[in-house]
């Protein structure tokens, strides 16, 4: 026996695989569940994890379950379906939702599950799958300080930076949506700029050099530019369908709080067009191709 909590992990995709790898390698007993990427499950079992057949079985065996799935519908399904977490959950179970989900759902689940003796809180993620693999993600966490400190050792297996949101459960999911508006909003700007650079007959490398030597230079721009200038769509692996989901969630959050949505509205409409045009499963740097097509250009501005 390690004396550490038994961790169940659901969602061993791009981010979750690396996160779960760090959990088991850092000494936690780990339970994983079948995933569309069988390679990830087999790898984790090879590192010492045990496989379970359903969320219900996981809830019966785990002390804490980590969710790393697409969004709110997937979170709720994992909890409520016939063989879901709630069918097997016992008093004292903790559920940590690292997904990018809707804050109002997080708040409702926290209140509902608390009445059953189950703790539910949010700890969404920043950075990339490569950082997940190295245990160097950033996470921000909703809920009281004592709850965060209790689970900080586990959170720190995949995150080198753990930031308390200093707000109730749900606050971290709200902050995550605001943070994603920054990255997706900038992607929308880079898309328009690179398309315009092509329109005026200037090579995209010139624009990359100009911005790289200005106050606007950042990792977001450099990753985005690797696709436009070098043809590398995997420089930022985040699909346009996920971008649309996140900005939709952001706009709902803003509406709920009576806030103006000038910038997010523009990004939302561009992402709706991109998804309608069939680009949903392409990565975020390929948003430039959506703008290029709308401007009567071909794919990639180079």
173-294: CATH class: mainly alpha
Residues in the chain with pLDDT values less than 70 = 1-2, 301-302
Domain limits, CATH 3.40.50.720, in the chain = 7-167
For the chain, what percent of residues have pLDDT higher than 70? Answer: 98
In this structure, the number of other CB atoms found within 10 A of the CB of residue 285 comes to 27
Spatial contact of 80 and 109, defined as CB atoms under 8 Å apart: no
Domain limits, CATH 1.10.1040.10, in the chain = 173-294
Spatial contact of 234 and 283, defined as CB atoms under 8 Å apart: yes
Locus of tokens 């709110």: 72
Task: Please check whether the domain covering 7-167 is classified as CATH 3.40.50.720.
Answer: yes
Give percent helix, percent strand, percent coil of the chain, each to the nearest 5: 55, 15, 30
Closest by alpha carbon to 253, among 75, 73, 70, 104? 104
pLDDT of residue 1: 37
Q: Which of 4, 21, 56, 176 is catalytic?
A: 176
- Catalytic residue status for 272: no
pLDDT tens digit sequence for 98-127? 999 999 999 999 999 999 999 999 999 999
């Amino acid at each position: 026996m390690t004396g550490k909590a038994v961790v169940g992990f659901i969602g061993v995709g791009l981010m979750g695989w690396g996160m779960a790898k760090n959990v088991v390698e850092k000494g936690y007993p780990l339970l994983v569940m079948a995933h569309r990427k069988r390679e990830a499950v087999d790898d984790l079992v090879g590192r010492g994890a045990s496989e379970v057949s359903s969320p219900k079985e996981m809830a019966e065996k785990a002390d804490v379950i980590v969710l790393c799935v697409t969004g709110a519908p997937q979170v709720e399904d994992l909890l409520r379906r016939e063989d879901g977490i709630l069918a097997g959950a016992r008093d004292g179970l903790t559920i940590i939702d690292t997904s990018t989900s809707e804050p109002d759902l997080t708040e409702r689940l926290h209140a509902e599950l608390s009445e059953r003796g189950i703790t539910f809180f949010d700890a969404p993620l920043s950075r990339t799958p490569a950082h997940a693999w190295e245990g160097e993600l950033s996470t921000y966490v909703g809920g009281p300080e004592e709850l965060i400190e209790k689970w900080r050792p586990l959170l720190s297996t995949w995150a080198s930076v753990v930031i308390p949101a200093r707000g109730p459960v749900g606050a971290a999911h709200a902050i995550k949506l605001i943070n994603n508006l920054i990255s997706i909003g900038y992607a929308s700007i880079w898309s328009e700029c690179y398309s315009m650079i092509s329109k005026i007959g200037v090579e995209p490398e010139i624009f990359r050099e100009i911005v790289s030597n200005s106050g606007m230079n950042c990792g977001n721009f450099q990753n985005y530019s690797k696709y436009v200038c070098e043809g590398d769509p995997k420089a930022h692996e985040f699909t346009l369908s996920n971008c649309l989901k996140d900005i939709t969630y952001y706009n709902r959050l803003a509406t709920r709080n009576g806030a103006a949505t000038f910038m997010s509205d523009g990004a939302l409409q561009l992402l709706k067009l991109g998804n309608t045009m069939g680009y949903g499963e392409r990565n975020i740097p390929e948003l430039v191709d959506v703008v290029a097509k709308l401007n009567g250009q071909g794919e990639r501005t180079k």
